[in-house]
Structure 1
Amino acid sequence: MALAICEDIWQEGGRVAATGQAGAGLLLSLNGSPYERDKDDVRLELVKRRAAEAGCPLVYLNMVGAQDELVFDGESLVVTEDGELLLRGPQFEEALLVVDLDLPAAAEDGLPDGTVLADGLKLTRVDLGGAPKESAAPVAPQVGERLDDEAEVYAALVEGTRAYVRKNGMRSVLIGLSGGIDSALVAAIAVDAIGAENVYGVSMPSRYSSQHSRDDAAELARRTGLHFRTVSIAPMFDAYMGAAELTGLAEENLQSRLRGTLLMAISNQEGQIVLAPGNKSELAVGYSTLYGDSVGAYGPIKDVYKTLVFKLARWRNAQAEARGEVPPIPENTIVKPPSAELRPDQKDTDSLPDYDLLDAVLARYVEGDEGRDAIVAAGYPAEVVDRVVRLVDTAEYKRRQYPPGPKVSPKNFGRDRRLPITNRWRQG
C-alpha cells in the first residue's frame, strides 16, 4: 500500500508515479480537499487518471466538516486502475463504507527496503504478518447519488456555519431580520445548522421600514421557530439627527450603523455571535455599510451571488413542502423587489444594475478573470461593464473588513481574490 497526502495527488508525476515504481497494490490518498461548485467532477476525473498512472486501485478519502472559510464535502471515492468507480461516499455526511478489492500479493523479490524512488521518496517495507483471512461474501459497489446544484451549495453553507459556531465554542447566533431575502436565507441556514432554539432574530425598524417587511420578518420567525423581538431604532435615529444635521447617503448609512451597533450590544450582553447577511453581489460592488450591515463574526452567504440567493430560498422552501413542512421563507420575501429601505420607496435597482445582469458581469470579471474589453465583446453593455468594474476595483477596502464566510465558488473574495487597496491604476 502506498500513501499520498492531499496535494500529492493534484501534482503531475512525482509521488503518484513513485507508487507504480514501488509496485504497490493500492494507493491511499488522504485529503482535506475544500468544496467548491462543480469540483466533484474534476476530482473524479483526476482520481481516475492518477489510478491509471499508479497502475493500481486508488482510495480517495476526503474529510467532512469546515474550518473558517473552507468547507470539506466528503464524497470519498474508490476507483480501479481501469477507471471503474467502485464507491462514492455521501456529500457533507460522515459515513463508514466498505468495499472489497482484489489486490495482488506483495512481490517478495520487489525493490529492497530503503530504495529511493521518484520525487526523493524512500521505500519502506512493513511486514503486516499473518496469512490473509477468508473474506465474507463480496460487498457490492456503493455509488451514491450526488446532490443537485442548489442542494450542494446549501449543504456547504449549513456545514460551514455549523462548524464555525461549534468549533469556536459558541452556542447561539444573532441575526438582524429586515424582512428581506438575504437575512431570511441566513436565518434558514442558521436554523438548519444549529437548531431554531439557538437562533435569535431582531427586527430593527426605522421610519422608512415598510409594514410588509416588518410582517415578513415576524412571519419568518413564526415559521422557523427562532427567538424573535422587535427593537425600533427610531428614537436613536432621532437623537443622532438632533445632534448632527445629516442628509443623503450619510442619513441612510446612519440607520444601518445604528442597527449594527444594536446587534453588537445585544451580542455583548447575551453572548450570541452576529451573522452578517451580505451576499457576494453586494460585497463585489461595495453595496454595504461599514460598521452597519457588515458587522458580525461570520457571513454565511458571503460567497453567494444574489441570483443564487433567490434560487436557494426557493429550493429550501420546496424541500420543506416535499416533506410536508411549512416553508421557512415567506413567499412575499422572495417575490418583492429587493430594498435596503433607508429612504422612501428605495429599490436596489436605484443604485445597481438588475441582478441578473450584474451577476453575469461579476462572474466574468471575478471568477473568469476577464477584462473589460472581453466582457463588452461578449455582448454586455459597455456603460454597465465600466461601472461594475470600477465599483469592484474601488470596494476592496470594504471587503477586507467583512467577516469570513464559507467558500462555495471557484474564486471567493479574500482567500482567492485579494487585490491591493491602494492603487492609482484604472482600466480604460
Structure 2
Amino acid sequence: MSTLNIALAQINPLVGDIDGNTQLIIDEALALANKHDVIVFPELTLTGYPPEDLLLRPSIALRVDRAIQQILDSNISAAVVVGYPKREGGKLFNMAGVLAQGQVLFEYAKQCLPNYQVFDEKRYFEAGSKPGVFQLNGVNLGLSICEDIWDGSPLDQLQSADVHAVLNLNASPFHQEKQAEREALIAARAKKLGAPILYVNQVGGQDELVFDGGSMVATAQGEIVGRTELFKNACLSVELDTATKQVSPQASKSGHPADPLADTYEALVVGVRDYVNKNRFKGVVLGLSGGIDSALTLAIAVDALGKERVEAVMMPFKYTSQLSLDGAEDEARRLGVKYRVIHIEPMYDAFTQALNEAFEGQQKDTTEENIQARSRGVLLMALSNKLGYLVLTTGNKSEMAVGYATLYGDMAGGLDVLKDVPKTQVFALSRYRNTLGEVIPPAVIDRPPSAELAPDQKDEDSLPPYEILDQILELYIEQDESAESIVAKGFDKEQVYRVLRLVDLNEYKRRQAPVGIRISKRAFGRDRRYPITNGWKVGD
C-alpha cells in the first residue's frame, strides 16, 4: 500500500460515561471511515481522563469489554485506535487498542506512568514493557501513549522496528504556553526517530483540568506541518506516503494564537462551560461587586454559557462606593444578564444584634467584615438552591494564596473561576477581553483593588503591591524557591517572610475552597498538597 489515510479525532469525552463515550467514538468513526484507513482517538477515551478511583470499581472491566465489543460490532470499515484501562494477570494497564476487522488486532500498554503535578497514574496502573509496533495493510505503525513521548525511552524501542509513523494518544492538560512546549518536543522526537509522529489530544474541561487539544503532525525531519484548533472538537486528516514516510495533512488550522492571553482566556471559558454543562446545572449566579475579579468572572461566564444562563447580584453595604454600584450595573447591562440588587444591612444588623451580648466589651475587627461576606454567601447559596444555579466564586490566586478570602462568605460556592489566576493576570485578561468587545467598564479595571469591607479600604493597605506580591508567590508556589532564595533576588526580607507565612497558614482555607480551573504549572489542589497541621517554618 503506497498511502495510508489517518484521522486524528480530537474529541471531548465525559469521565465515567463509558456508554456515552463509546457512542461518541462510534459516531465519529462512522463519519470518518469512508475517507480514512485509521482513526485515532485520545488516551483512555472510553473512560475519559482522568478516571481516578473509578478505576477501582469492580464493574469497570465488564463495562470496558462491553464497550469494545460494541465498537467491533459497529461495522466500521476503518481501523479504530482507542484508549482504555485493561486488567491482565491481576494488573491494570493504561492500554491503547487497535480495533479492526472485527477483532482487537493489537494492544499496547503505556510504559511511562506520570506521577507529578496533576498526574497520579502509579496509584492505579502498572507499567508496560513491550514496544508498540503493529502492522496494518502492510504498513508498520508505532503506538505510544502520552508520557511515553515525554520520557522518550519507548520511542527508542521503535528505532529498530522501521516504523512508517508513530501514533501518540494523549490526555495532556492545558497550562500556559503548553502547546509551544508540546510542539518543540514532538518535532524533536520525530527528527530523532526519523519517522513522522501523529499526536492526538482530547479537549474539554474535567473538574479543575482543561484539555486544549492541539493535535498535530510532525514530519520525519522534525517540522510541524499540521495542527488542529485549540479547545475545539476537531479532526486532522493525514496522508502517509509509506514509500517515503512523508505526511501531508489534508486540512489543518493554526491552533496557537499569537497572544498567549487568548489561550488562557479560552481555557477559562471552556473550563466553566464544561463544569456547568457536564454537571447539569441550569446556569450560574455570582456576586457582582463592582470590582475587577467579579467583572472578569461575569464576562467569562457569559462567554461560556450565554447571557440567558447567567445571573449577577449586587449586594451593597454602607461601605460600598457609588463607583462599585455604577460599575456593576453598567457591566450587567453591557452583557445583558439578569441583574438584581439585594442590600445586606438588614442581615448584618440581625447577626450583630444577636451577637451583642457575646461581643460585649470587644472592639470591632475583621469579625464584622467577615459577617458582611458571610451575609452575601448566604444570599447567593439561597439563590443557588432555589434556581438550580451554580454559584461562581470570584477569588483570584493571589487572594487564595495569602488567605484574603472569607470561609463561608466569598468562598461559598461551587466553582472558583479565577482560583489559579494571579491578580496581575486578572487585569491583563480583563483588558484582553475588552479587545473583543468592551464589556468590562474601564473604571472597574482602573480603580485600586478593594474588598470594601471597611471605610476607604484598599488591598495594598495590608499587602505588598500586586506586582511585587505575585512575583513572590510565583517563586514560592510555582517554582518552590525558599525564603532566602527569594530575598536574594532583591525582594524585601520582611515582606517575603510575611507573605510566605500567610501562604503556609492559610492551607486550611484552601482545603475548603471550591474547585478552580487550572491554568498554571502549579495550582492549588491537585498540584500543591501541603499538610494543614505541621511544624515547618518559613526559613527552613
TM over 0.5: yes
8 Å CA contact retained: 2:226, 2:249: no
Instruction: Tell me which residue corresponds to 1:196.
Output: 307
Aligned equivalents of 1:104, 1:224: Cα separation in 2: 56
8 Å CA contact retained: 1:279, 1:305: yes
Residue deviations 1:162-193 (CA, integer Å, cap 9, x gap): 01001111120010111110001000000000
8 Å CA contact retained: 1:85, 1:143: no
**Pick from 387, 393, 415: which aligns with 1:298?**
415
Aligned equivalents of 1:391, 1:38: Cα separation in 2: 29
Instruction: Tell me which residue corresponds to 1:415.
Output: 526
Q: Given the alignment of the two structures, is residue 241 of structure 1 paired with residue 352 of structure 2, yes or no?
A: yes
Structure of greater relative contact order (alpha carbons < 8 Å, 6+ residues apart) = 1
Instruction: Tell me which residue corresponds to 2:341.
Output: 230
Q: Which residue identity does 2:462 align to in structure 1?
A: S
**Pick from 137, 142, 146: which aligns with 2:256?**
146
After TM superposition, give the deviation of residue 22 of structure 1 in Å.
Answer: 2.6
SS at match of 1:97: strand
Q: Given the alignment of the two structures, is residue 49 of structure 1 paired with residue 49 of structure 2, yes or no?
A: no
Q: Which residue identity does 1:3 align to in structure 2?
A: L
Structure 1 residues 21 and 143: alpha-carbon distance in aligned structure 2, compared to 1, 3 A threshold: farther
**Pick from 134, 146, 150: which aligns with 1:10?**
150
Identity %: 51
8 Å CA contact retained: 1:158, 1:193: yes
| Pairs within 5 Å for 1:3-402 | 3-13=143-153, 15-104=154-243, 142=252, 144=254, 146-147=256-257, 148-245=259-356, 247-320=364-437, 327-402=438-513
After TM superposition, give the deviation of residue 143 of structure 1 in Å.
Answer: 5.7
TM-score by length of 2: 0.70
After TM superposition, give the deviation of residue 420 of structure 1 in Å.
Answer: 0.6
Instruction: Tell me which residue corresponds to 1:110.
Output: none
Aligned equivalents of 1:149, 1:50: Cα separation in 2: 25
Aligned equivalents of 2:497, 2:459: Cα separation in 1: 19
8 Å CA contact retained: 2:236, 2:249: no
8 Å CA contact retained: 1:69, 1:406: yes
Q: Which residue identity does 2:142 align to in structure 1?
A: A
8 Å CA contact retained: 1:221, 1:228: yes
Aligned equivalents of 2:371, 2:442: Cα separation in 1: 30
Aligned equivalents of 1:335, 1:383: Cα separation in 2: 29
8 Å CA contact retained: 1:196, 1:226: yes
Aligned equivalents of 1:105, 1:79: Cα separation in 2: 14
Q: Which residue identity does 1:291 align to in structure 2?
A: Y
8 Å CA contact retained: 2:347, 2:375: yes
Q: Which residue identity does 1:309 align to in structure 2?
A: V
8 Å CA contact retained: 1:2, 1:24: yes
Structure 1 residues 355 and 23: alpha-carbon distance in aligned structure 2, compared to 1, 3 A threshold: same
Aligned equivalents of 2:522, 2:254: Cα separation in 1: 27
Gap regions ≥5 residues in structure 2: 1-140
SS at match of 2:425: helix
8 Å CA contact retained: 2:236, 2:250: no
8 Å CA contact retained: 2:238, 2:250: yes
Aligned equivalents of 1:4, 1:340: Cα separation in 2: 50
SS at match of 2:237: coil
Instruction: Tell me which residue corresponds to 1:115.
Output: none
SS at match of 2:415: coil
Gap regions ≥5 residues in structure 1: 107-137, 321-326
Residue deviations 1:350-397 (CA, integer Å, cap 9, x gap): 121110010011111111111111111100111110111111111100
Structure 1 residues 376 and 420: alpha-carbon distance in aligned structure 2, compared to 1, 3 A threshold: same
After TM superposition, give the deviation of residue 105 of structure 1 in Å.
Answer: 8.8
TM-score by length of 1: 0.88
Aligned equivalents of 2:238, 2:146: Cα separation in 1: 21
Aligned equivalents of 1:34, 1:145: Cα separation in 2: 15
Deviates more, 1:52-61 or 1:72-81: 52-61
Q: Which residue identity does 2:198 align to in structure 1?
A: V
8 Å CA contact retained: 2:179, 2:256: no
Residue deviations 1:125-160 (CA, integer Å, cap 9, x gap): xxxxxxxxxxxxx76674616221111100000011
Deviating beyond 3 angstroms after TM superposition, the runs of 4 or more aligned structure 1 residues are 138-143
8 Å CA contact retained: 1:26, 1:56: yes
Give the count of matched residue pairs: 390
Q: Which residue identity does 2:221 align to in structure 1?
A: D
Aligned equivalents of 1:145, 1:155: Cα separation in 2: 12
Q: Which residue identity does 2:268 align to in structure 1?
A: L
Aligned equivalents of 1:339, 1:427: Cα separation in 2: 28
SS at match of 1:370: coil
8 Å CA contact retained: 1:86, 1:141: no
Aligned equivalents of 1:189, 1:139: Cα separation in 2: 34
